[in-house]
Amino acid sequence: MKASSTPPRGRIVLDTTPIDLETSARGIGRFLSCLLPALREGLEEHECQMVQATLSRGGGMLPGIPAHSIGSAWLLKRLAPWQRQVLAGGSLNRLALRTGATGVFGTDLSLFPPKLPGLRQTLMMYDLIPLLDPDRYVNKYVRGNRWLWRDRLPRRWREADQVIAITREVARTGKELLGIPEKSFQVVYPGVDHLEDVASSSSGMQAPFLLYVGAIEERKNIERLVSAFAQVAHPRLRMVFAGPMAPFRKEMVRKWAESAGVADRIELPGRVDDATLQALYRECLAFVFPSLLEGFGLPPLEAMRAAAPVIASRSSCLPEVLGDDALWVDGTSVESIASGIRTLLEDPDLRRRLAAFGPARASLYKWSDAGHRLAELLVGSSARA
């Protein structure tokens, strides 16, 4: 931090542990690795001191900022989330007391600390999907993780001074489902400008193809997407599924494709590097995202940024995030998804319009804006401590 005669506006403990617990290319790890540099810049502009809570022995995510290990990455990676909460749930508070911090910013759900008097607490809320669809998620969890989601996390969010939701839909759900006061919520949208477009890169996929990027799980609605693709009479068209997927998930997609009679037109490259991902977005005929439950929905915005026409399910937070710049379908209907695909195939003018509008929509979501907005909220909390 630059030297200044201005008194610091508080000291904030930043929880950077998800970067040690997850790969930086997915989930919360991706979110934090993109957000933290901009957050640091914002906090430095406000003359706010920072302390990093890490699980690594190195200097943490932000060079030059004091970093303190609050646990063993080797151990915590091997524990269930509820076990992390029991073992290390107070670690952020202990670090705050040890370093004289005035506020804590909690990012890893399993490490949310209890509320302490005099210590301003800001907690993230990425989504409430396990509670929105309990039969497929929380009811199937082990007993300890059911306790974490049904009791401990709701209590932590309700007690926090601020809850940072990544969309208005997430905040609305938190208010209605958990009774969190509306005044506790602040919305900070993630950015989408983290992928560098390498124009010379190639996906290696045979055109024309439709693209889906993301996990293979029930809420993502992939079985219906495969069935809808099979209804589209276009023998040369291929469907590409990219993103992290375990071998058994790939086998699920293959079985759905075999059942639908399109196994020879399905591609499953799995996780790809950022250059290949950008090439896939750039080269696809359309990006199809029929997901039914999302916290934000990053892949369709990444596709829009690369000028790919987007077909999306009108559900969850997606209308809020994508606005009028996607072709909307009913994700619960195979026929509606298939109709949307056919519409784009048969209407080149619509494809051009959506491709033209997409980058402007994606440009609304910048990591620098997210970091500076969050810094204002954290500094405001610290100043009131």
Q: Over the stretch 17-46, which tens digit does the pLDDT of each residue have?
A: 998 886 544 678 889 999 999 999 999 999
User: In what side-by-side order are the strands of the sheet with 11-15?
Assistant: 67-69, 49-54, 11-15, 103-106, 120-125, 162-165, 185-187
CATH number where 259 lies: 3.40.50.2000
187 in the same domain as 227? no
275 in the same domain as 143? no
- Please state, in angstroms and as integers, the Cα–Cα distance from residue 282 to each residue in 185, 189, 191, 200, following that order: 36, 24, 19, 11
> Would 203 be classed as within a structural domain?
no
Instruction: Provide mean pLDDT across the span 55-61.
Output: 78
User: In what side-by-side order are the strands of the sheet with 286-289?
Assistant: 266-270, 238-242, 209-213, 286-289, 310-313, 327-329
278 in the same domain as 170? no
351 in the same domain as 313? yes
303 in the same domain as 162? no
The neighbour count for residue 147, using CB atoms within 10 Å, is 16
142 in the same domain as 118? yes
For residues 187-199, b (16+ Cβ closer than 10 Å) or e, as one string? Answer: bbbbbbbbeeeee
Q: What is the pLDDT of residues 141-162, one digit of tens each?
A: 999 999 999 999 999 999 999 9
Instruction: Provide mean pLDDT across the span 110-137.
Output: 96
> Would 226 be classed as within a structural domain?
yes
Residue 202 tokens, joined: 């190639």
- Find residue 34's DSSP bridge partners: none
358 in the same domain as 374? no
Least confident of 199-213, 243-257, 366-380: 199-213
Residues 6+ apart with CB under 8 A from 122: 103, 104, 105, 106, 160, 161, 162, 163, 164, 377, 378, 381
> How would residue 233 be classed by pLDDT, with cut points 50, 70 and 90?
confident
pLDDT of residue 385: 44
pLDDT of residue 197: 66
Residue numbers of the domain that contains 263: 209-362
Q: Quote the CA–CA distance of 275 and 256 in Å, as a whole number.
A: 29
Residue 289 tokens, joined: 């995202």
> Would 75 be classed as within a structural domain?
yes
Contact, 17 vs 107, CB < 8 A? yes
> Helices marked H in the chain — which ranges?
17-21, 27-45, 73-76, 81-88, 91-99, 129-132, 143-147, 153-159, 168-178, 222-231, 247-260, 274-283, 298-305, 318-322, 334-346, 348-362, 367-384
Domain count of the chain?
2
Contact, 350 vs 320, CB < 8 A? no
pLDDT at 63 over 80: yes
> How would residue 204 be classed by pLDDT, with cut points 50, 70 and 90?
confident
149 in the same domain as 232? no
Residue 218 tokens, joined: 């029930």
Instruction: Provide mean pLDDT across the span 306-321.
Output: 97
Contact, 192 vs 370, CB < 8 A? no
Q: Please, how many CA atoms are within 13 Å of residue 188, restricted to the half-sphere of its CB?
A: 26
144 in the same domain as 31? yes
Tokens 């055109």 locate to 207
Q: Is 79 helix (H, G, I), strand (E, B) or coil?
A: coil
pLDDT at 2 over 50: no
Q: Burial level of 146, CB count in 10 A (0-12/13-18/19+)?
A: middle
> Would 4 be classed as within a structural domain?
no
328 in the same domain as 217? yes
> Would 21 be classed as within a structural domain?
yes
167 in the same domain as 316? no
> Would 45 be classed as within a structural domain?
yes
Task: Give one DSSP letter per residue of 127-149, joined into a string.
Answer: --HHHHSTTTTGGGS-HHHHHII
> Would 200 be classed as within a structural domain?
no
pTM beyond cutoff 0.85: yes
313 in the same domain as 183? no
Contact, 68 vs 75, CB < 8 A? no
pLDDT of residue 244: 87
> Would 196 be classed as within a structural domain?
no
